[in-house]
Amino acid sequence: MTSAPLAAVTGAEGFIGSHLTEALVASGHRVRAMVQYNSFSSYGWLESLAPDVLDQVDVVLGDVRDPGSVRALADGAETVYHLAALIAIPYSYQAPHSYVDTNVTGTLNVLEAIRALGTPRLVHTSTSETYGTARTVPITEDHPINTQSPYAASKAGGDRLADSYHASFGTPVVTLRPFNTYGPRQSMRAVIPTVIGQVAAGSRTITLGDLRPTRDFTFVTDTVRAFLAVGTAPADAVVGRTFNAGTGEEISIGDLVRLIGKVMDAELTVTEDEQRIRPADSEVMRLIADATRLREATGWAPEHNLESGLAATAAFFRDPANLARYKTGVYNV
Specify the pLDDT at position 132.
Answer: 97
Question: Could you tell me the residue ranges of all domains in the chain?
Answer: 6-187+219-248+288-303
CA dist., res. 161 & res. 173, Å (int): 10
Q: What is the pLDDT of residue 278?
A: 77
| pTM for the predicted model, two decimal places | 0.96
CA–CA distance, 251 with 253 (Å, rounded to integer): 7
> What is the distance between the alpha carbons of residues 146 and 103, in angstroms, rounded to a whole number?
17
Higher pLDDT among residues 328 and 177, named by residue: 177
Looking at residue 67, what is its pLDDT?
98
pLDDT of 1 strictly over 50: no
Mean residue pLDDT across the chain: 95
More confident call, 206 vs 130: 130
Question: Quick one: 268 exposed, middle or buried, by C-beta within 10 A (0-12, 13-18, 19+)?
Answer: middle
CB atoms within 10 A of CB 134: 20
More confident call, 282 vs 92: 92
Q: Is the pLDDT of residue 312 over 50?
A: yes
Q: Are 242 and 175 in contact (CB under 8 A)?
A: yes
Predicted pLDDT of residue 92? 96
Q: What are phi and psi of 200, to 5 degrees?
A: -60, -30
Looking at residue 2, its pLDDT comes to 60
Average confidence (pLDDT) over 193-211: 90
What's the rounded Cα separation, in Å, for the pair 295 and 312?
Answer: 25
88-115 pLDDT per residue, tens: 999 999 999 999 999 999 999 999 999 9
Assign 286 a pLDDT band (cuts: 50, 70, 90).
very high
Phi, then psi, of 118 in degrees rounded to 5: 70, 30
Of all residues in the chain, the percent with pLDDT exceeding 70 is: 99
- Place domain 6-187+219-248+288-303 in its CATH homologous superfamily: NAD(P)-binding Rossmann-like Domain (3.40.50.720)
Q: Contact 267/204 with Cβ under 8 angstroms?
A: yes
Complete edge-to-edge strand list for the sheet that includes strand 30-36: 57-62, 30-36, 6-10, 79-82, 121-125, 173-178, 242-245
pLDDT surpassing 90 at residue 204: yes
Active-site residue list: 151
Whether the pLDDT of residue 247 is over 60: the answer is: yes
Q: What is the pLDDT of residue 61?
A: 97
Residue 277: its pLDDT value, please? 74
Q: What is the mean predicted confidence (pLDDT) over 133-160? A: 98
Give me the sign of the Cα torsion angle 261, 262, 264, 267: positive
Given a contact cutoff of 8 angstroms between Cβ atoms, the answer to whether 62 and 36 are in contact is yes
